[in-house]
Amino acid sequence: MTTILKKPGFNPDRKYKIIGTSPVKHDGFDKVTGRAKFAADAFLPGMLVGKVLRSPHPHAILKRIDTTQASKVPGVKAIITRDDFPEIKQGTGGGDMTRLAMAREKVYWEGHPVAAVAATSESAAKKALKLIEVEYEVLPHVIDPVEAMSPDAPILHDYMRTKGAKGPDAEKPTNVVERHALGIGDVDKGFAEADVIVEGTFDTKPMHQGYIELQSCVANYSDDGQVDLWCCTQAPWVYRDRLTEILKIESSKIRIQQSELGGGFGGKTTFYLEPLSVVLSRKAKCPVKMTLTRVEVMRATGPVSGTQSTIKMGCKKDGTIVAVDSTLVFQTGPYTGSAFTNAPQAMLTRYDLKNVRTVSYEVVSNRPKVSSFRAPCVPQVVFGVEGLIDELATKIGMDPIEMRLKNAIVEGHKTIYGETFNRIGFVETLEAAKACDHYRAPVPKGQARGIACGFWFNRGGETTGSMNLAPDGTVTITLGTADVAGSRMSMAMMAAEELGIPVDRVRAVLADTHSLGYNRVTAGSRTTFSSGIIVVDSARKIITELCRRAAKIWNVPEEGVVFEDGVCRPASSNVGEFEPLSIKDIAHKTTYTMGSISGHSEMNVTGAGPGFAVHIVDVEVDKETGLTSVKRYTIIEDAGKAISPAQVEGQFQGAAVQGIGWALNEEYVYGSDGRLQNPGFLDYRMPVASDVPMIDTVIVEVPNPKHPFGLRGVGEVPLTPAMAAIGNAIGHAIGIRPRSLPMSPPKVLAIIEEARARGVLPAG
Amino acid sequence: MSDVRFEAPSSLSEAVKILAGAKGPSRALAGGTDLIVQMENDLLEPDLIVDIKKIPELRAIKPEGGGFRIGATVTSMEMIEDASLCAKWPGVIDGVKLIGSIQVKGRATMAGNLCNASPGADSVPPLVAAGALARIVGPNGTRESPVEKIPVGPGKTSLAPGEIIESFFLPERPRNSGDAYLRFTPRTEMDIAVVGVAINLTLDSAGVCTQARVALGAVAPTVLLVDECANALIGTRVDEAAIDKMAAAAAAACKPIDDKRGTREFRIKITSVLAKRVAQKALERARHTA
């Protein structure tokens, strides 16, 4: 069946007409003119406004909720609380999910929903929220994951026992969800061979995905129990199935239409408002629209895991890394789901290491549950790993890129997690970095340079899509993956290339959940790869059918027809003399042949090619204030084959900017009361345009042979080394490398003072 | 946002009358760059908003007695685009330029910045250093107040109910005067001062400082006008020793808190660093103005 996975048909000598160009995106005009419909642009007649009442406490028992007075406010049509949701056992996947949507026994973070109101106006809804009486029994709270691991920390869930723990600890209530060990070889033996050993404890702070579009949805629960839901999501099918699980509504009765997405970065893989709006709509018997405010987004939607990594690393004088030992801690919010096992798998995968030990812990605390973000949990640990490699390179006097080349993996490498790599391009990426203008240029006076490398698996997974040929010879594609970064255009380009028609004759649209089979979440840098395979497979099915129709029109055997350059021709002169038939010619005659032509494909896609990147960054540090300015930044990365180079560059550049923010300033500030003090862009300091230089890019193309055009995912790799590269640059500027994010002015100034005291940075 | 009464009178007397008659919480609206944001975030729920942008005499920058009178609803961009104001009071413009983005500056006013009473307001330290006077109109008539007397604490002003700022007056300056303002923020723009320092000084023909005013922002509940800093400069040639002494006095004067925008310790250090940089800039300007 799924022959394309076995025979992708990659041809290194193929000359492309469309792949590798950067046409204007078909969805681009509407976005720049403001006509694109995002989730908040959905309107239905009779629509109510829904608002959420949130806990002011980070940890409390929810003793009583009284909505009597609130329900008397004119205009209020429905109020929902925990009583409106089916009970699902605590500590199960569904149990966690329903409690994240609406608190039941306890509230677990400041901002946890405790009730929601639907009313005819926002002011009526807000008035009602104020009149809902909630009685809390406030409990001690814990925010920091390392503090949450201490024996006297407040326990969030009495029922929790550490998965993977051994001995007496395994029996005690704990905040540690899981202990996960992964390794190879003999670490002690490895360190015995080392000439130089470095070690350190690094910490990174939770950061927010920072999408501009606020989550919004409109739910319409009809009188006969059908749910229509419009929302911004990276995972329509996942949302549907989760709604089925926690609301006990059959999937065939839930139809989700994804809107344009104003940024997701992993943050729109988890629902917040959707279950509330469905239940409000059912109770109010009207459509209900809910939109988060920025403050709510900051207080109650998924940030990224904060981490602490203690890492020890040794190398020989020639640069060979001989051993790595690490203990890693990951914050997950009140429930499991940080995807923390990505980290031990990816943190060192690019180096050929014989002796590695990792022990990782996932820890609950009183913060909003973390959500995915470009390479979940990986950039955090790379900050430590690449920092220590930089220290080793400095100590043995080796060029940092040469040190990485010395240890770089190549095709055939078996990873720590068991996968054996096909063709990979890490060495080519390092060589390209060494040769690029930025690395060859001398470091400008007053500045310092850092480099770091990163890796991401890239993913495949369940994917479904359809392609239809219209009678005028144009093509439409129905996609199940979300368009988080211009993938509709990449799909149109791949279809046009395969069919041999201009890209303007193809349009791709995003399906609702009734229109296609299951599609896995749009994440893991899987979309252009997986849906791309579906698109090429569908196009090939259309081509097969086109040949069959040409044979019918010419009245020749099917094998007597070939498809080349967008036309069907006789396979040889023996078949007969016929004018070639274009797609348009055949499409025009489908009514007279066997009816419409379409291609459909569904498969669990495999063969995603891993990606590697090198970042080079020049910084200037103001030694009197600790302020770091990023002066020059270059990303060198293997894209396999850039379908649309402009979009690949956009991925690289966006990741660098997010990395700069995470590295330098982004931080949640909590008061001793466990309440967030900076829930907005004014004081949660994401970079602004003038904080970043133009990000230069070098696209390396070492094709992935498992894709018809050779592409690799590029969404996540480019974030992984960013903070490490900036940290290394700052370290070279001030003599001591920072080990804690954000590397904000007060922290860098304190390190400068320490460096001066230790004599590693000249005074004045 | 709850139900709110909105008025947009075309005369100052009418605006004062409406505000003075308010029973619940009320606010005058100029650019709205703080007010609307605070209402959106439910930090403020006024019953009455009086838009004062329709009052013609509040909308202009006018020469007056060798100085300038700047109406309360003159926007930051209008100030930045006024060449003669920029030439005379570059330090005041330094502060105004740092507020928000170009879009925000297209609406934001100094009167709003002052009445929002944030200790980190960027236009306030340079106004204080300039010795600017605010003209206040209220139910009991008109009064003049030094700018530094208006904020009395974070979010609180000395304005009585019904009083609004009508205009600011920047006086005529002697020859060889210069002013400057710098702030420290982790980002290049769209940020709130962690520390702000404004210095306004005058030199005599021999280059000796005859007058100085030094104002510090974001290091106390209100902007501080520090006499010790001024005294460290007056009578000197504003040389390194004098500047160091002034910077030390600035660090000694600040009474900052630890908050989301910076720690106490960091603010004190940065105050001293900025004070030196600002002094150099003001000095350069004083030497190069006729």
Burial class (CB in 10 A: 0-12, 13-18, 19+), A15: exposed
pLDDT band at A722 (very low <50, low <70, confident <90, very high): very high
CB contact under 8 A, B42 and A126: yes
Residues in B touching A685 (Cβ below 8 Å)? 186-187, 191
A-chain residue closest to B271, CA distance: A625
Distance CA A680, CA B261 (A): 13
Last residue within a domain, chosen from A300, A322, A347: A300
A293/B41 touch (CB, cutoff 8 Å), yes or no = yes
Interface membership of B190 toward A (CB under 8 Å): yes
- Look at A293 and B40 and tell me if their CB atoms are within 8 Å: yes
Contact B192 A664 (CB under 8 A): no
Stretch A626-633: mean pLDDT: 98
For residue A85, pLDDT over 60 is answered with yes
Query: Are A439 and A541 in the same domain?
Result: no
Q: What is the CA radius of gyration of chain B?
A: 19
Tell me whether A688 touches chain B (CB under 8 Å): yes
Specify the DSSP class assigned to residue A689: G
Q: Determine the average pLDDT of the residues in B129-155.
A: 97
Residue B50 pLDDT grade (very low, low, confident, very high; cuts 50, 70, 90): very high
Does some domain include residue A135?
A: yes
Q: Which residues of A touch B266 (CB under 8 A)?
A: 745-746, 749
Q: Which run of H or of E encompasses A387?
A: helix A378-396
Domain that holds residue A63: 40-140+209-300
What's the gap in Å between the CA of A123 and the closest CA on chain B?
A: 5
Residue A684 lies in a domain: yes
**A residues 112-171 lying closer than 8 A (beta carbon) to B:** 122-123, 126-127
Between chain A and chain B, how many beta carbons pairs sit less than 8 Å apart? 54
What letter would DSSP give residue B101?
A: -
| Whole-number pLDDT of residue A591 | 86
- Domain endpoint, select from A300, A324, A350: A300
Residue A234 within a domain = yes
Contact B186 A745 (CB under 8 A): yes
Based on the fold, state whether residues A256 and A132 are members of the same structural domain: yes
CA dihedral A296, A297, A300, A302 (to 10 degrees): 180
Residue (of B168, B167, B147, B166) closest to B158 by Cα position = B147
The CATH code of the domain that includes A438 is: 3.30.365.10
Interface of B with A in 31-90 (CB under 8 A): 40-42
User: Which residues of chain B neighbour A691 with C-beta distances below 8 Å?
Assistant: 187-188
Does pLDDT of B140 surpass 60? yes
Query: Which chain B residues have a beta carbon less than 8 Å from that of A126?
Result: 1-2, 42
List the single residue in A123, A678, A691 with the smallest CB-CB distance to B260: A678
Tens-digit pLDDT profile for residues A408-433 = 999 999 999 999 999 999 999 999 99
Flag whether residue B284 sits within 8 Å of chain A, measured between CB atoms. Answer: no
- CA–CA separation, B178 vs B138, rounded Å? 34
A373-406 b/e (C-beta count within 10 Å ≥ 16 → b) = bbbbbbbbbbbbbbbbbbbbbbeeebebbebbbb
Question: Which letter does DSSP use for residue B140 in this model?
Answer: T
For range A307-332, the mean pLDDT = 98
- Confidence bin at B289 (pLDDT 50/70/90): confident
Q: Where are the alpha helices (DSSP H) in chain B?
A: 12-20, 35-40, 76-80, 83-88, 90-97, 102-105, 110-115, 124-130, 227-233, 240-253, 264-288
Question: Residue A529: inside a domain, yes or no?
Answer: yes
Q: Does A668 lie in the same domain as A543?
A: no
CA distance A355 to chain B (A): 41
The set of residues, in sequence order, having a beta carbon less than 8 Å from that of A221 and lying 6+ positions away, is: A227, A278, A281, A282, A285
Superfamily of domain B177-288: CO dehydrogenase flavoprotein, C-terminal domain (3.30.390.50)
Contact A749 B269 (CB under 8 A): yes
Give the residue from A631, A691, A730 with the most B CB atoms within 10 Å of its CB, the best one to mutate.
A691
Taking the CA atoms of B216, B220, B224 and B229 in sequence, report the sign of the dihedral they define. negative
Is the model's pLDDT at B26 over the cut of 70? yes
A613, A655: one domain: yes
Would you kindly state where each structural domain of chain B is located, as residue ranges?
A: 5-51, 56-170, 177-288
A contacts of B263 (beta carbons < 8 Å): 746
| pLDDT tops 60 at residue B40 | yes
Average pLDDT on A675-699 reads 96
- A669 to chain B, any CB pair closer than 8 A? The answer is yes
Q: Which chain A positions have a beta carbon within 8 Å of B186's beta carbon?
A: 627, 664-665, 685, 744-745
- Contact (CB<8Å) A687/B187: yes
Interface with B, mutate which of A630, A684, A685 (most B CBs under 10 A)? A685
* Confidence at residue B1, expressed as pLDDT on a 0 to 100 scale: 45
> A486: which DSSP letter?
S
Report the residue of chain A nearest B267, measured CA to CA.
A746
Condensed to tens digits (0 to 9), the pLDDT of residues B60-88 reads 999 999 999 999 999 999 999 999 999 99
Q: How far is B245 from chain A (nearest CA, A)?
A: 17
Q: Does A744 touch chain B (CB under 8 A)?
A: yes
Q: What is the mean pLDDT of residues A131-137?
A: 98
Do A471 and A452 lie in one domain? The reply is: no
Residue A2 pLDDT more than 60?
no
Tens digit of each residue's pLDDT (9 = 90 or more) over A52-84: 999 999 999 999 999 999 999 999 999 999 999
Q: What does the block give as tokens for B182?
A: 């710098």
Distance CA A330, CA A145 (A): 7
User: Which residues have CB under 8 Å from A109's CB, separation 6+?
Assistant: A55, A58, A59, A299, A300, A333, A334, A366, A367, A368
CATH number for A230: 3.90.1170.50
Q: With 70 as the cut, is the pLDDT of residue B290 above it?
A: no
Examine the domain organization and report whether A621 and A720 are in the same domain.
yes
A678 touches chain B (CB under 8 A): yes
Q: Dihedrals φ, ψ of B261, to 5°?
A: -95, -10
What percent of chain A stands above pLDDT 70? 100
A164, part of any domain: no
Domain count within chain A: 3
Question: pLDDT digit string (tens) for A182-217?
Answer: 999 999 999 999 999 999 999 999 999 999 999 999
Interface test with B, best of A297, A627, A684 (most B CBs within 10 A): A627
Q: What is the DSSP string of A239-301?
A: HHHHHHHHH---GGGEEEEE-B-S--TTTTSS-SSHHHHHHHHHHHTS-EEEE--HHHHHHHS
Tell me which H or E stretch contains A438: helix A437-440
Query: Of A234, A269, A300, which closes a domain?
Result: A300
Phi (first) and psi of residue B66, to 5 degrees: 85, -10
Is residue B103 less than 8 Å (CB to CB) from chain A? Answer: no
Strand ranges of the sheet holding B164-170, from the earlier edge strand across to the other edge = B61-64, B67-71, B164-170, B133-138, B141-146
**Which of A189-193, A493-497, B258-262 bottoms out in mean pLDDT, i.e. has the lowest?**
B258-262
Determine which of B188, B192, B195 to mutate to test the interface with A (most A C-beta atoms within 10 Å): B188
Tens-digit pLDDT profile for residues B200-224: 999 999 999 999 999 999 999 999 9
Per CATH, the number for B5-51 is 3.30.43
How far off is chain A from B3, nearest CA to CA, in Å?
A: 7
- Please name the residues between 227 and 266 in chain B that touch chain A, using a CB distance below 8 Å: 259-263, 265-266
The proportion of chain B whose per-residue pLDDT surpasses 90, expressed as a percent, equals 93
Stated length of chain B: 290
Task: Provide long-range contacts, Cβ within 8 A and 24+ apart, for B151-159.
Answer: B151/B114, B151/B117, B151/B119, B151/B121, B151/B124, B151/B222, B151/B223, B152/B117, B152/B222, B153/B117, B153/B221, B153/B222, B154/B117, B154/B118, B154/B119, B154/B221, B155/B116, B155/B117, B155/B118, B156/B117, B157/B114, B157/B115, B157/B117, B159/B115
B262 to A691: CB separation less than 8 angstroms, yes or no:
no
Tell me the C-alpha distance between A674 and A140, whole Å.
9
Residue found by looking up tokens 């990303």 in the block = A635
Does the residue A342 lie in any domain?
A: no
Which positions 193-222 of B are in contact with A (Cβ < 8 Å)? none
Neighbour-count burial for B63-91, b at 16+ CB within 10 Å, e otherwise: eeeebbbbbbbbbbbbbeebeebbebbbb
Sheet holding A76-80, edge to edge: A76-80, A113-119, A48-54, A288-291, A216-221, A227-231, A254-258
State residue A243's pLDDT score: 98
- Please check whether residues A254 and A108 belong to one and the same domain: yes
B40 chain-A contacts, CB cut-off 8 A: 293
Residue to mutate among B266, B272, B276, B280, with most A CBs inside 10 A, is B266
Kindly state the average pLDDT of the residues A587-616.
95
What is the rounded CA–CA span in Å between residue A234 and residue A484? Answer: 7
User: In this structure, what token pair is assigned to residue A156?
Assistant: 């969030």
C-alpha dist (Å) from residue B210 to A61, A469, B207, B236, B267: 66, 84, 9, 8, 29
Do both A284 and A426 map to the same domain? no
How far B87 CA sits from the closest chain A CA (Å)?
A: 26
- Could you say which of A126, A625, A746 has the minimum Cβ distance to residue B263? A746
Instruction: Identify the pLDDT of residue A210.
Output: 96
Task: Tell me: do A524 and A633 sit in the same domain.
Answer: no
- Tell me how close the Cα of B259 comes to any Cα of chain A, in angstroms: 9
Q: Mark yes or no for CB contact A677/B188 under 8 Å.
A: no
pTM of the complete model? 0.97
- On whether both A130 and A263 belong to a single domain, the answer is yes
Contact call for B191 and A685, based on CB within 8 A: yes
List own/partner pairs for A543-549 with CB under 8 A and 24 or more apart.
Answer: A543/A498, A543/A499, A545/A597, A545/A599, A546/A581, A546/A583, A546/A586, A546/A597, A549/A586, A549/A589, A549/A590, A549/A593, A549/A594, A549/A597
Nearest CA to A717 out of A612, A615, A639 is that of A612
Q: Is the pLDDT higher at B41 or at A602?
A: A602
Q: Is residue A153 situated within a structural domain?
A: no
Q: For residue A88, is pLDDT > 70?
A: yes
Q: Which residues does residue A326 pair with via DSSP β-bridges, in sequence order?
A: A311, A358
A positions 589-628 inside 8 Å of B (CB)? 624-625, 627
Contact B262 A746 (CB under 8 A): yes
**Which CATH code fits B56-170?**
3.30.465.10
Residues A559 and A640 grouped into a single domain = no
ipTM: 0.95
pLDDT higher than 90, residue A485: no
Which token pair is A538? 């569908």
Buried/exposed code over A502-517 (b: 16+ C-beta within 10 A; e: otherwise): ebebbbbebbbbeebe
Say whether A749 and B266 touch across the interface (CB within 8 A). yes
- Residues A657 and A724 grouped into a single domain: yes
In A, which residues are within 8 Å of B261 by CB distance? 683
Neighbouring CB atoms inside 10 A of A610's CB total: 28
Please judge whether B192 and A690 are an interchain contact, meaning their C-beta atoms are less than 8 angstroms apart.
no
Residue A474 DSSP SS3: coil
